[in-house]
Amino acid sequence: MELELRDVSKHFGGIQALNGVSLRLSGSQLVGLIGPNGSGKTTLVNTISGIYKPDDGEIILNGEEIGRLKANEVTRRGVGRTFQVTRAFRRMTVMENMLVPALAVPSDRGHREIKERAREILSFLTIDHLRNDYARSLSGGQQKLLELGQLLMTDPDLLLLDEPFAGVHPKLMETIFEYITTVHAQGKSFIIISHDMSSIFTLSQRLVVLHYGDIIADGPPDIVKEDPAVIEAYLGEDEDD
Amino acid sequence: MKYFLSLCTTGVIMGVIYALMALGLTLIFSILRVINFAHGEFYMLGGYASYFILSTFTGLHPLLAVPLAGLIAALIGLAFEIAFLRPMHQGRIERPDEYAILITFGLSFFLMNLALAVFGPYPHRPPSFFQGAVRLGFVNVSADRLTASILSLALLTLLLLIINKTWIGIALQAVSQNKDAAAVVGINPLRMNTLAFGLGVGLAATAGALLAPSFLIVPDVGAVPSIRSYVIIVLGGMGSIQGSILGGLLIGLVESLGAGYFPDPSRALNYKTAFGLVIFALVLLFRPRGFFGRKEV
Amino acid sequence: MTTYAKSTGRRFWFRPQWAAALVALVIALLVPLYLQIHSPYWLHVLIVAYFYAILASSWSLLAGYAGQFSFGHMAFMAIGAYTTGLIGRLVRLTTAPTGMCAEIPLPGRDLWLVFINTVGDNCLELGKVNMPAGTLIYRPPILSGIILGALIAGLAGLAIGALVLRFKAAYLALFTIAFSEILRTLIRGEPQITRGDHGLRVAPLFPQTISRVPDYYTMLAILVASLLFMYWLASSRVGLFLRAIREDEEAAAARGVDVVRYKVLTFVITSMLAGLAGAFFAHYITILSPNIIVLPQMGLVIAMAIIGGVESLAAAAIGGMIIQISLELLREFEAWRLVIFGALLILTLRFARNGLLAPLLQRLSGTVPRAESREEASQAELGEEVGA
């Protein structure tokens, strides 16, 4: 997997959400994306995943410019994402939720194989027993697990997780940790947005810090932590977690 | 040239009235985020109300029925908003976007059939405001239409003043921009919703009452004006007040010029509304957010 | 295609809803035997009821499954009806060229496709003078008109869908309401072609008989076929994607679903079904007027679907039949009947969002989703789980 952002900009009305962001990601990395509220983290994930089109700049995935593609086309090219506020299909069962991405993205798996795989993933995420329940009857944390499960159904190479730990019960948190480390060990890359500093420091090999739409630091967590610009950016900011 | 100018004159005269009705729709959309699919039926209601008032109180000057008709429609609008739209803004309705489309369409279906049941399918016509016609440049305009246009212009000006200068107008603007922030400074968004809906449908009914002497009233008389208003707000940009006024004038001109220069004059009137659909399609193709729309479409 | 609907574990034919449908079908097949003798008028009422059932259920496929609200369903129906009507009026097949009309020789046969002009003297009549003796003139087969009617309705759906379905749901509603009203004005405004308010005469489907029984079975067959087709579609992957789109378009796209494509596909399919129903209906009532597209007609179809239950094809279809039959039974109330159904539509939307029939059908067939009936239970269970 090779992802490169070149001078990506995005603004809404007068607000500059991304200000010429450049970023390279190759091989199998686990990147933490942090920054104060409103620094453009979710906008960045939305732009990579095709929900937004960048105003300027290029997004290149494995040699192909994907900045103009629709979200479903980006997903087909091996990028999966979760949403900050979960967006599982509420009035569909858990199993149906898993089938949507599996059937939407072409693969050579048969129907039976797809269902088996869905159950395997659901078991791994500890929610297999809920597979015939409507997604809306799941707890917030379980819906997060379901979204993580949906991602794996399309075999992505790059997973973009938006606040995977926010508001999750500690018990489910462990499952999410295990998910990330296991999937990462299979050679997949992650970009994880989080306000949960201790989790993100433990997990990631590389931290990227956004501030008012600019990348102000990028490097190993230990070094970034000491960066004066980062400390400055976070000063006066109420830490959520 | 004379012909062109006279067409422009009639276009502007009608455009002002179109703008009034579209402004009502815009007001509702910008505050409630709801497209009122019953807008045309409030127009119809305005026409019937003025007819009813004038045939009951025969001594009344026809102009006095106009504000009364607007008021009656506004009261019906207020009641509908409180009973059926407010629960949506209180989060008591699932899938509110769908609900808003269907419930206002349901209201339109209900009102249209109610008018049919009460007044029957035959056309009604309230008395004229003033008899005769007035010479404007190269063209004779019926006194009724001119009156309607002048009053619409006055009402538009008054509304713009209210929206921009008074506390209530500024409160409405605040709610349209940011509900939560407005609530923080002590504006009750639910009350503003009700107010905006009442005001919006009141404007439609006023337009209906103003045009009632010029065009006959039948139960489905609102269909064409409401479609015209939809085209205007899409053209002007959903929720934009300047957009709906400019859009109204533009559609008035397009209809007048289009019908005036249509190759076969005997069929020109039939195609008047079709121009609107063409404009609708062109806007969606080339500038989906209209002249002044916010970027989200 | 594989079925992805949640299976209850029982075999297809043994599920109660299919058994009930089968019983209903048998009754529907036997009813004409009685009505033909005792009350032919009610046969007519049922034919119209089936017609509305097709419209209400196809509208509910678009609205209830895909979450797209079209106010132009009756316009597509009218496109189907007028297409076959106009073909019958203006198109002929001849064994010799007229030399006067616009005409195309059909390849491989000695047949000409002749288009009759709508302005001035009838070119076919003028051409007859020059045509050799024994020249045969046929009307095109009715079936070809019906098929073309459905196709053209589908094409109109494709054009409108491709234009409008990229935007939020309200735009479809806005555009189709305008389209449908303007189509009506055009039909009315071009009487040389469409005969306008005078009405366009359409050939009957079964000219040999005055009995309504063949029409009855035809309309029933179309209803059953379109319901089966829509159920198949809804239980295929397309149905799954549509429900995902309805829940959350952006999330569906993020999961790989080509949102616009499936919305357009559904819009085209439902437009074709409406066109097909309209085309058949035209040959049944044998006269068309622009008033078939008035908005109250559209409102009536929506009321049928919503009051029945817009998320269930069967409930919408049954809703259509019940309301059509009630309209007949309540004749003495005249215009007030529609006022009543208008009020019922509004109240159903507000207080029984899933319609009045759909919950009943669900209970009968036992397809209430597990989570629905035990939503609270599952929340409680969750509490335990987390606490463990």
Do C244 and A171 lie within an 8 Å CB cutoff?
no
Among A81, A100, A169, whose Cβ lies nearest the Cβ of C252? Answer: A100
The predicted-structure confidence for B143-184, as pLDDT tens digits, reads as follows 888 888 888 888 888 888 888 888 888 888 888 887 777 777
Tokens of A5: 């952002």
Residues 12-71 of A with CB under 8 A from B: 12-13
Chain A closest-CA separation from residue B295 CA (Å): 8
pTM: 0.89
DSSP label of C167: S
- Measure the CA–CA gap between B105 and B230, rounded to whole angstroms: 14
How many Cα atoms sit within 13 Å of B29 on the Cβ side?
28
Residue A237: its pLDDT value, please?
55
Whether C364 contacts chain B with CB within 8 A? no
Residue in the structure block whose two tokens are 């335990």: C384
| Residue A54 to residues A24, A75, A211, B127, Cα–Cα distance (Å) | 17, 17, 18, 59
Q: What is the mean pLDDT of each run of 10 residues along chain C (388 residues)?
A: 49 67 86 83 91 94 91 94 90 80 80 80 77 81 91 95 87 89 85 82 84 90 94 90 92 93 95 95 90 82 90 88 90 87 90 84 64 40 35
Pairing type for strands A158-162 and A79-81 reads parallel
What part of B 182-221 touches C (C-beta under 8 Å)? Answer: 220
What pLDDT is recorded for position C371?
43
**What residues of chain B lie within 8 A of the CB of A13, using their CB?**
294-295
Q: How far apart are alpha carbons C69 and C73 in whole angstroms? A: 10
The model's pLDDT over B188-199, given as tens digits with 9 standing for 90+, comes to: 888 888 888 999
State the average pLDDT over residues A32-53: 88
- Closest approach of chain A CAs to the CA of B241, in angstroms? 18
- Residue B102 with chain C: CB contacts under 8 Å: 69, 302, 306, 349
Span A54-70, average pLDDT: 90
Distance of CA A95 to the CA centre of its chain: 21
Digit-coded pLDDT (tens) for B40-74: 999 999 999 999 888 888 888 888 888 899 999 99
Please name the member of A51, A72, A137 whose beta carbon is closest to the beta carbon of C371: A137
Question: Angle at Cα B124 formed by Cα B120 and Cα B125, nearest 5°?
Answer: 170
For A91, name the nearest residue in chain C, comparing CA atoms only: C247
Q: Which residues on A lie below 8 Å from B295 (Cβ)?
A: 12-13
Are residues C177 and B220, on separate chains, in Cβ contact within 8 Å?
A: no
Q: Could you report the predicted ipTM of this complex, rounded to two decimals?
A: 0.89
Residues of A in contact with C241 (CB under 8 A): 100, 103-104
Of C164, C346, C353, Cβ closest to residue B284: C164
Residues from chain C contacting residue B98 (CB–CB below 8 Å) = 63, 67, 69, 169
Can you list the domains of chain C with their CATH numbers?
Answer: 2-89+141-379 (1.10.3470), 96-135 (no CATH)
* Token digits of residue C172: 């479809």
CB-based contact (8 Å) between A114 and chain C? no
Average pLDDT value for residue range A117-125: 91
Residue A23 pLDDT > 70: yes
More confident residue, B292 or C322: C322
Tell me, yes or no, if B295 comes closer than 8 A to chain A by beta carbon: yes
**Assigned token pair, C40:** 């032919």
CA-CA distances (angstroms) from residue C207 to C62, C202, C204, C215, C220?
Answer: 35, 11, 6, 11, 19
Average pLDDT, chain A: 87
Eight-class DSSP state of C12: G
Percent of chain B's residues with pLDDT above 90: 19
CA dihedral in degrees (B219, B223, B229, B232; nearest 10)?
-160
